[in-house]
Amino acid sequence: MHAAKTYRLRNYTVSADESSAPAYQAVCVSGEEIDCGADSADQPDEEALTRWMAQHTRDTGHDRFRRARWDYATVEPGAWR
């Protein structure tokens, strides 16, 4: 005897959380065999991040970075389908 299974799906709405400011981060990926790995930590805006990358390039000669813009989101459950 097999029990029947019923699955219910739900829609969700994902929205940017405007109550918090985004953060910007870069990690130095320059290097021959391994990446440098220097991390800017969270910066308040793109200008501050650009300054950090420029200073790192000036001090080390490294010129390749992985950049990210981090922001916050909210998820609101919607109707069941």
**Secondary structure element (H or E) that encloses residue 27, with its range:** strand 23-28
Q: Which long-range contacts (CB under 8 A, 24 or more apart) does 45-54 make?
A: 48/24, 49/24, 49/25, 52/26, 53/26
pLDDT (0 to 100) of residue 5 = 86
- Residue 52 pLDDT > 90, yes or no? yes
pLDDT digits (tens, 9 = 90+) for 57-75: 999 999 999 999 999 999 9
The pLDDT of residue 39 is above 80 = yes
